[in-house]
Amino acid sequence: MPHPQSSSGPRVTITGVPVSDGEAGPYGIATGPDGALWFTKVHEGSVGRVSPRGGVSSYPLSSADSGPTVIAAGPGDGALWFTEYKGHRIGRIAADGTVDSFALPTPECGPYGIAAGGDGAVWFTEMNTDRIGRITTDGEVSEFVLPRTVAGGYPSAIAAGPDGERMWFTLNLANAVGSIRTDGSGIEIHPLPTPEAGPVGITAGPDGAMWFVEIGAGQIGRIDAAGRIREFPLPDRTSRPHALVTGGDGALWFTMWGANRVGRITADGSRIDEYAVPSPASEPHAIALGADGALWVAMETGSLARVGIA
């Protein structure tokens, strides 16, 4: 049933869409080139799809224990790419459900974040090995070691910059945001002002800057091309923001894993609004802008939430 909500921000309607049982764990979500929503089921070892008409499909991976996590549309190859955190592989799923999987050179590397780059390749983070990875659509893998100053930094989410020449990533335990040129050079590290902020999700904003969440500090952050950082505290500093995306309304929308809510911050940082998701303790994780103009949220308890903006 839709749940209309309003605050000082736009009026939204949030609808829960069941896609699995409560054990499968919907985690990552992305809009595919086919207009469907594709999502990972981290505990089941499969990838799901919700068609534009609402039909739900599921595609099992070769191992139920591979831990598929973040998923993203590929660089114009008509497929979705995802990380297998426990399987230490990168996966690719075509629109017809055909799955390919690519082993990574470094053992036990723990790939997590993934995103298409402006260079026509797919980029990913390796949480366990202080590396940023790159894979071509043919499956050729390169790895780039981060500076020793951020050893053990837990590179997490990654996203393409607005100029198409850099990939930006968060370093959760190093309390920093980094960037790397798409030729593998020019790694830059930008420490955050707030200690133990724990950055996770990152995305390109509508204002030419990169935006990220601070799960440990309960803040939203912004970093421009020159490395200047601003931080915006949330009303509930214990809400544990996890992921964010630019919405069709020009604002940034984010999930609050610890508060069972979805948030919105304007691009100038002047206003923050929050909206409760339909079911209690649903653990909202990834968020994506759908082809229908709504925001879609993967909730680990077995549903997606559709956030329609009035």
Instruction: Please give the pLDDT value at position 1.
Output: 47
Predicted confidence band at 7 (pLDDT cuts at 50, 70, 90)? Answer: low
- Statement: residue 131 has pLDDT above 70: yes
- Is 274 annotated as ligand-binding? no
Query: Could you tell me what percent of the chain has a pLDDT over 70?
Result: 97
pTM over 0.85: yes
Closest to 93 (Cα-Cα) out of 47, 136, 134, 35: 47
DSSP at 45: T
Predicted confidence band at 280 (pLDDT cuts at 50, 70, 90)? Answer: confident
Instruction: Please give the pLDDT value at position 6.
Output: 46
Q: What is the rounded average pLDDT for all residues in the chain? A: 95
| Catalytic position from the list 3, 43, 190, 285 | 285
- Statement: residue 230 has pLDDT above 90: yes
CA gap 165, 215 in Å, rounded: 27
CA gap 175, 246 in Å, rounded: 23
CA gap 201, 254 in Å, rounded: 9
Distances (CA, A) of 62 to 13, 66, 98, 196, 277: 37, 8, 12, 37, 33
- Is 300 annotated as ligand-binding? yes
Q: What is the mean pLDDT of residues 221-228?
A: 97
- Statement: residue 5 has pLDDT above 90: no
* Enclosing domain of residue 258: 3-309
Q: What is the CATH number of the domain that holds 186?
A: 2.130.10.10
pLDDT in tens, 103-127: 999 999 999 999 999 999 999 999 9
Query: Could you tell me what percent of the chain has a pLDDT over 90?
Result: 95
- Is 283 annotated as ligand-binding? yes
DSSP at 109: -
Instruction: Please give the pLDDT value at position 8.
Output: 63
pLDDT in tens, 48-94: 999 999 999 999 999 999 999 999 999 999 999 999 999 999 999 99
Total tally of structural domains belonging to the chain:
1
Residue 285 annotated to the active site: yes
- Statement: residue 39 has pLDDT above 90: yes
Instruction: Please give the pLDDT value at position 279.
Output: 85
